[in-house]
Structure 1
Amino acid sequence: MPMPVPRTAAVAATVALLTGLAAAPARAQADPASQRQRDFAAAAKEFNVPENVLLGVSYLESRWDANAGTPSTAAGYGPMHLTDLREAGVAGTHHDEGTEDPRGDDARPAVHPQAGPAAPPPTLQTVDEAAQLLRTDAKTLRTDPAENIRGGAALLAKYNTDGNWYNAVARYSGSTGDAAQTFADEVFDTIKTGTARTTDDGQQVALAPTPDLAVPQHADRTPAGVECPRRVTCESVPAPYQELPKDDYGNHDLANRPESQKIDHIVIHDTEGYWANVLDLVQDPTYVSWHYTIRSADGLIAQHVPTKDVAWHAGNWYVNAKSIGIEHEGFAAKGTWYTEAMYRSSAKLVGYLSRKYGIPLDRAHIIGHDNVPGTTPITIPGMHWDPGPYWDWSHYFDLLGAPLGGFGLPGSSLVTIDPDFAKNQPAFTGCDKSGSGTPCAPRGSEAVVLHSEPSESSPLLVDIGLHPNGTPSTMDVADVGSRVATGQRYAVAEVRGDWTAIWYLGQKGWFPNPRGARVAKPAIGWVVTPKPGLATVPVYGRAYPEPEAYPAGVTVQAITPLPYSLSAGQKYSSGGTVGSEYYWATTFDPANHVVVKGKLKYVQIQFGHRIAFVKADDVRIVPAF
């Protein structure tokens, strides 16, 4: 159980909460868009729970969204995240799927681990507990937002055994110890600062600030040796660096970053599996690795690999060697949603890492696994696509304190993709894996789909890497061949009425961008274009050195172009110039590891849905306004 707050703090907190309630403004009675606000007020009154406590807990769970009755990663339903494990299915992990080699190093045999299916871990069946209190059934609590809110209020009232709402909130998280305290801290911080938003189903909900609220203060919860920010709960679950038979070893590589190599990227993943099973896997020396995992229910962070070392997570050795990989307990497509508790912990961790290593807070450097390029033409179709089109990048960057979009002048030749997440609902298919043509449930998304002409009926673009037969891309949720993501920047190719075209994989990709409902905002930045006299320049999935840079005993790595080209007259957003590097790490003894650095320079570009690289000698870098 979480440690209680000192009695004086508890009394002050309760008084402040009740004072905040008394000061709340009167609400309109008839506005249908305010019904959820009235539901919170009614449930708080019915169960004698301070309304701002009820609102704060719900915000940390779901941001007051109903999510169309679908479960979260932690099998939670509705605004109050009542859990029902009977509705959750088995899972593996995303490293089991496709043909991607998580290590992605041509100098070593491919790694294709298999985890097998795993059931959701046992936890509280809060939906049953609430149903018993309300004398109703679990289905009603899963599908009726108003009843769901009543159920959450009833549980909070039951958990308030000592008159201390902080402890009741901590217990509501379903966790214990520091993780429960972190959840309660986030709730109380939200109550203190207040917030307001329009939910996924159009409800307007507000939590008035309570600036004098006494929020408990706790010591730093980070264990020694764990790299984490303050005011989150972290633990150490080490991944093993271990010798294996046949001169093999697992499951990561020792290094000395950033002294040996600069860390350029943070890669956001989802686990496609449940917390306990995924943590078992990362401790298996025959499996693969990543640096951190974040739990859905409460935002608990586990560190597995020191950030100085190289984990095997992104399917591209160049990116692995220069990135930190963070897994989030979740599923990219199977009807689940990511909790606010997890978003907040993740944003605090990424903010901490970006400051520590000087990583820019933009979508050229904070990338999804789905933005990592294939290494060679043959690897492109097998690359993974998590965290998927339902990860809310715009909200995530708001939490990072680096909001996306809106910084350029009207008519800029560069745009930032930034649709309204809740209203933007592409008609994807294949979410339940029953078939690529099965429609997904309508849901808010960060993805904008591109067409070959300024018409909804025109075909999608061709991604020759994903579809070598030259057929157009599809609306399958896993097909990223004609899709842009929130926060990514692209050069404008043409505008026709309400339609905008951007340069994308050597083609013009069209999307509706009407005035008053923009999905792309003017941006400021740099773009690359072929140097005069070059009809096309090759595009690469990694920035490897020239052959002359390799010392004796280190195998030269091929500089293999991808099956795309950047043509004269086209422009692509620059993510900055990088040096050429290759980390030779093929033996268990790190004394034999070598960082090869060449004279070649590359420019990172936003070429399609994924990033790519071009040689700096092939292109001009020019400003876009």
Structure 2
Amino acid sequence: MIAAPPSRRARLALALITALAVPAAVAAPAAADPVRSPAGTGPLTPAFDAAAARYDVPRDLLVALGYAETRLDMHAGAPSASGGYGLMHLASNPQVRTLDEAAARTGLPAAALRTEPAANVLGAAAVLRAYADQTGLTPAARDDLGRWYGAVARYGGAREPSAARLYADSVYDLLRTGFASDQGETVTGRAVTPQRGALERASSPGDMGTLSTDYPPAAWAPASTSNYTVASRPSSHRVNYVVIHMTQGSYAGSISWFQNPASQVSAHYTFRSSDGAVTQSVREKDIAWHAGNWTYNTQSIGIEHEGYVDNPAWFTDAMYRASAALTRSLTTKYGIPRDRSHIIGHVEVPGATHTDPGPNWNWTYYMQLVNGVTGIGSGTVNTSSANLNVRSGPGTGYAIVGSVAAGATVSVYCQAAGTTVTGPSGTSNVWNRIGTNRWVADVYVNTGHSGYIPGVPRC
């Protein structure tokens, strides 16, 4: 039975959290489990193992769901924009009550579910298992990842079928492609056929069948009419600003939140981190409720970007470039100057109580892209050793986050001044960003230029 008797909650809470925190207490998974990747090595591994075993939920499905929601980040117990907590985004808002459901089904107190990683994962597994049971999923079918699709879609809490499908598809895309998290959890990609049921007929906002009439690259998934003001801009109000936001949540979850009448928030556009995909939720002529300042709302276009301000892993080149293309289009359409007085962060709106897009947002790079400096350079790694270290920032003082092989071709998205290094091409302080938080010294890359590459943005 999934639900624990209320009278045992306090004792069970302590026992479960203590057990989950100790790797030795976690039983080894069956070697023949067809839905499990090789064991992770990070601090969350025991929590995922124990939760998957306790509630008979595919481990990789749990990891993928958490990765899609938060990149497996607890965010110090702070809630997301839609009231979700922890790495599994247990939600407590007028529409979605997965936090309360987790408390009821595990016997764990809400405080532990919000702040303890092991409890948070256990709660999500309990809720997901309950949803699967309610869809009629039998014990014999639980190893079939595709059969969990309905439970995953329900976990996201979307009101509209299109948003529910977008949410579940994002999880299943991760299962198909595989990924490795910063916490050491690895999911190997595999062929999986999601069984969407009634949602098969729902057009996901990412499908080509539902497009924006304002900005052709965008999908169209309208916000609830309770969350924006119908207007006739720019005739009624001049559009003077573009306001940059971070969602403090996932792409699919944010689009769903705008469709929730209780949220009382919306934005015109939302960008996905992984590939720069964009969805429009409010027409440009209408006033989205995004800036927390009515005057600025009436005069601006609000653009959300998937991720959290405190985790730079969300800030991808694909998202920067796609967003800058939209902003460039908007500035042309409405005659908005392409400067930092008119392209601003949410934090810069008078009276703002939010800090987004935060210190990890690269304004220099973004504004160069908006102003048309969009070239990408390339080069060949030139090192006498087998591999060249890749660092998390432009300097030798930054952590090593990987390596590239000698002779490999790399893309150079932007360049910055950093630690002076001597290498095969001489001595220079120029560093090349070859990916999200991935940097190599320019003196180890043959780009055909000495130092800065013409047309490539400065980071």
State the TM-score bracket (shorter-chain normalisation).
Answer: 0.5 to 0.7
1:388 aligns with 2:358: yes
Partner of 1:292: 269
Partner of 1:75: 83
Higher helix share: 2
Q: Secondary structure at the match of 2:191?
A: coil
Q: Is the 8 A contact 1:239 1:305 kept in 2?
A: no
1:490 aligns with 2:457: no
1:178 aligns with 2:162: yes
Partner of 2:17: none
C-alpha displacement of 1:59: 1.7
| Counterpart among 69, 75, 100 of residue 61 in structure 1 | 69
| Counterpart among 42, 45, 62 of residue 53 in structure 2 | 45
Q: Secondary structure at the match of 1:235?
A: coil
Gaps of 5+ in 2: 1-29, 138-146, 249-253, 292-299, 330-337, 343-347, 364-373, 384-389, 400-411
C-alpha displacement of 1:490: 2.5
TM-score w.r.t. the length of structure 2 is: 0.52
C-alpha displacement of 1:190: 1.5
The 5-angstrom pairing of residues 99-248 of structure 1 reads 122-160=94-132, 161-162=134-135, 163=137, 164-176=147-159, 177-199=161-183, 204-214=184-194, 216=196, 220-221=203-204, 222-223=209-210, 225-226=212-213, 234-235=221-222, 242=232
Q: Secondary structure at the match of 2:304?
A: strand
Partners in 2 of 1:23 and 1:281 — Cα distance? 38
**CA deviations over 1:33-75 (Å, ceiling 9, x no partner):** 4442232122112112122222221221122233333333333
Partner of 1:302: 280
- The code of the aligned residue for 1:235 comes to P
Q: Secondary structure at the match of 2:303?
A: strand
Q: Is the 8 A contact 1:36 1:205 kept in 2?
A: yes
Q: 1:144 to 1:66 in 2, by over 3 A?
A: same
- Kindly report the root-mean-square deviation, in angstroms, between the aligned alpha carbons of the 2 structures: 5.9
Q: Is the 8 A contact 1:417 1:489 kept in 2?
A: no
C-alpha displacement of 1:171: 0.5
Partners in 2 of 1:405 and 1:45 — Cα distance? 48
Q: 1:180 to 1:526 in 2, by over 3 A?
A: farther
Q: 1:372 to 1:138 in 2, by over 3 A?
A: farther
- The code of the aligned residue for 1:249 comes to S
Partners in 2 of 1:357 and 1:211 — Cα distance? 37
Q: Secondary structure at the match of 1:55?
A: helix
Q: Is the 8 A contact 2:218 2:280 kept in 1?
A: no
Partners in 2 of 1:20 and 1:190 — Cα distance? 22
TM-score w.r.t. the length of structure 1 is: 0.40
Q: Which has the larger radius of gyration?
A: 1
Partners in 1 of 2:76 and 2:282 — Cα distance? 35
Q: Is the 8 A contact 1:234 1:302 kept in 2?
A: yes
**CA deviations over 1:330-367 (Å, ceiling 9, x no partner):** 774xxx76998xx89x968975996x9999xxxxxxxx
The 5-angstrom pairing of residues 412-491 of structure 1 reads 418-419=392-393, 488-491=414-417
Q: Secondary structure at the match of 1:495?
A: strand
Gaps of 5+ in 1: 1-17, 86-121, 254-265, 283-289, 315-322, 360-370, 376-380, 394-401, 426-485, 503-510, 529-570, 577-604, 610-625
Q: 1:42 to 1:231 in 2, by over 3 A?
A: farther
Q: Secondary structure at the match of 2:236?
A: strand
Q: Is the 8 A contact 1:405 1:418 kept in 2?
A: no
Q: Secondary structure at the match of 1:58?
A: helix
Q: 1:75 to 1:526 in 2, by over 3 A?
A: farther
**CA deviations over 1:458-499 (Å, ceiling 9, x no partner):** xxxxxxxxxxxxxxxxxxxxxxxxxxxx9642356x7279x9
Partners in 1 of 2:339 and 2:453 — Cα distance? 16
C-alpha displacement of 1:271: 6.8
